[in-house]
């Protein structure tokens, strides 16, 4: 009996390992997704992308159940995404609402970063608020690697500069770590675009956009990155059409 029990235990363990490996592979390949927000509750969906997605057929992309797209424009004080101009012009010719985003650097002043964004992104009808991607990166992997107060001060300069230029407060993109360290206190005037691809709807955070997946595959792009980020808006189509409203 003991031998049979051992055999059964080993067999079950092997089956579980194979099943877990298969599920992991399907998640990695974008066949399965951890998050599938209720389309009835969250009907407004969109993507965000950069030059990593390569050349984009915007007419094709726009026909795949999305309502908006955030496009990478700039990074730091000197980098312009090499495909931003082409993406911005082509996307503006579709029925999508579009917005531009900036990757915030902890190494340069907020004003010079804002100057780069302002000189790169020209307003189009129905434009979504500018977005600023605030997350740890490279040598700045946690709050221990930065002067938190100094970074928050420069982020405030960036936010206020863009709000003055576009008459809309920027949306702040963040994950749980950067939200807790840099955004939670001091930026209540900005809407939040929360990244949470491994858990369900963010709790305890007043989010406006939720990036719920980074492993989707759509038709219409041909870059080295075969996946595309998926997002939802926290509201119905009517609320989205009125969003955000211009500041006086």
The label of the residue with tokens 């650097």 reads 105
Helix (H, G, I), strand (E, B) or coil at 3: helix
Compute CA 25 distance to the chain's CA centroid, rounded to the nearest angstrom: 23
Give Cβ neighbours of residue 3 (< 8 Å, ≥ 6 apart): none
* Options 48, 81, 191, 229, the catalytic residue: 48
Helix (H) or strand (E) holding 75: strand 68-75
Q: Rounded CA gap, 93 and 154, in Å? A: 34
* Options 107, 111, 135, 165, the catalytic residue: 135
Helix 148-166 with 110-120: angle, nearest 10 deg:
30
Counting Cβ atoms within 10 Å, is residue 127 exposed (0-12), middle (13-18) or buried (19+)?
middle
Q: Rounded CA gap, 122 and 141, in Å? A: 32
Q: Rounded CA gap, 55 and 219, in Å? A: 12
Cβ-defined contacts of 178-184 (< 8 Å, 24+)? 178/134, 178/135, 178/136, 179/205, 181/142, 181/143, 181/148, 182/134, 182/143, 182/148, 182/151, 182/152, 182/155, 183/134
**Is 48 a residue of the active site?**
yes
Q: Which residues are catalytic?
A: 48, 135
């Amino acid at each position: 009996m003991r031998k049979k029990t051992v055999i059964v235990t080993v067999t079950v363990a092997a089956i579980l390992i194979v099943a877990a490996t298969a599920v992991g592979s399907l998640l990695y390949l974008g066949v399965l997704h951890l998050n599938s927000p209720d389309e009835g509750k969250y009907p407004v969906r969109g993507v965000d992308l950069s030059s990593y997605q390569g050349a984009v057929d915007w007419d094709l992309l726009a026909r795949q159940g999305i309502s908006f797209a955030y496009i990478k424009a700039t990074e730091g004080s000197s980098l312009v995404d090499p495909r931003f101009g082409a993406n911005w012009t082509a996307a503006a010719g579709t029925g999508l609402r579009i917005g531009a985003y900036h990757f915030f650097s902890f190494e340069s002043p907020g004003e010079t970063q804002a100057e780069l964004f302002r000189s790169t992104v020209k307003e189009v009808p129905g434009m979504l608020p500018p977005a600023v991607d605030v997350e740890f990166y490279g040598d700045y992997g946690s709050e221990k690697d930065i002067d938190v107060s100094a970074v928050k001060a420069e982020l405030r300069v960036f936010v206020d500069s863009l709000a003055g230029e576009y008459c809309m407060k920027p949306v702040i993109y963040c994950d749980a770590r950067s939200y807790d360290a840099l955004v939670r206190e001091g930026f209540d005037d900005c809407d939040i675009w929360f990244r949470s691809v491994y858990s369900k709807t963010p709790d305890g955070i007043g989010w406006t956009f939720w990036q719920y997946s980074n492993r989707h595959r759509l038709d219409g792009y041909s870059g080295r990155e075969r996946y595309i980020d998926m997002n939802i808006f926290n509201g119905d189509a009517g609320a989205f059409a009125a969003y955000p409203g211009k500041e006086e």
